[in-house]
Amino acid sequence: MFVIIVYDVGEKRVAKALKTCRKYLNWVQNSVLEGEISDVNLKKLRAEMEKLIDSEVDSVILYTWRTQKYSDREIIGLEKGGISNMI
Amino acid sequence: MFVIIVYDVGEKRVAKALKTCRKYLNWVQNSVLEGEISDVNLKKLRAEMEKLIDSEVDSVILYTWRTQKYSDREIIGLEKGGISNMI
């Protein structure tokens, strides 16, 4: 499965959110990560994010595609992340 | 065509970037917008973003899909944007 995750969380939780997402996905920019992920790991990621956010103020969006990656990803300006950011 | 755009731009350019993207797409969170867009409007959006960013420090990522929307979009926590944010 291909996933893009974007989060908008309180400052206190930013570092933890990034660390959690990076366990499963590749960082691409600011609060955006993407990557191939198994169903099991997606479940784990979702559970960990649910646990760490404050659901009254934070927002996390998970875009998932069962069958295909995006057909194109285009960068305007700097490429901040990249596949070299894998753990 | 379905597009997700995420930007990470200097503070001075944030408002302008958002305003530009909102002309074509729906705001979903922080610096993330999405929506259906025509080839012509995608060209315009790309050109406007190229013009307004500082390509030495800013980053804009355009994910595009020719044929299909994401298969799922899941929100953990708050839904900050939404289809009501259309112009």
Count of the separate structural domains present in chain A: 1
Q: Residue B58 sits in a domain of what CATH number?
A: 3.30.70.240
A78 falls within a domain: no
B17 located within any domain: yes
The nearest CA of chain B is from the CA of A14 a distance in Å of 13
Tens-place pLDDT, residues B13-63 = 999 999 999 999 999 888 999 999 999 999 999 999 999 999 889 999 998
pLDDT band per the 50, 70, 90 thresholds, residue B85: very low
* pLDDT at residue number A39: 92
- Other C-beta atoms lying within 10 Å of the C-beta of residue B62: 20
The pLDDT value recorded for residue B16 is: 96
Query: Residue A87 and residue B23: Cα distance in Å, rounded?
Result: 37
Whole-number Cα distances in Å, A11 to A43, B12, B18, B78: 25, 20, 21, 16
Give residue A73's identity as a one-letter amino acid code: R
Q: How many CB atoms lie within 10 A of CB B67?
A: 8
pLDDT single digits (tens) A2-36:
899 999 999 999 999 999 999 999 998 889 999 99
Q: What is the pLDDT of residue A29?
A: 87
- The residue among B36, B28, B35 whose CA lies nearest residue B77 is B28
Is B8 among the annotated ligand-binding positions? yes
Residues of chain B whose beta carbon is less than 8 angstroms from a beta carbon of chain A are 4, 6, 8-9, 28-32, 46, 49-50, 53-68, 70-80
Q: Which two tokens stand for residue A69?
A: 């990656």
Query: For residue B71, what pLDDT band results from cuts at 50, 70 and 90?
Result: low
Of B30, B58, B61, the CB nearest to A8: B30
* In-domain check, residue A9: yes
Amino acid sitting at position A36:
E
Q: For residue B12, what pLDDT band results from cuts at 50, 70 and 90?
A: very high
State how far residue A19 is from chain B, nearest Cα, in angstroms.
17
Domain that holds residue B65: 2-69
Of A16, A20, A21, residue with least CA distance to A3? A21
- Give Dmax (Cα) for chain B: 35
Lowest-confidence segment of A58-67, B14-23, B77-86 by average pLDDT? B77-86
Chain B residues closer than 8 Å to A30 by CB: 6, 8, 31, 59
ipTM of the complex: 0.75
How many Å apart are CA A66 and CA A55, to the nearest integer? 26
In a domain, A34, yes or no: yes
Mean pLDDT (chain A) is 85
A63 located within any domain: yes
Work out the average pLDDT over A55-84.
75
Q: Do B77 and A65 touch (CB under 8 A)?
A: no
Q: CA–CA separation, B27 vs B6, rounded Å? A: 10
Is B82 within a domain? no
Within a domain: residue A44?
A: yes
Q: How far is CA A27 from the centre of its chain?
A: 7
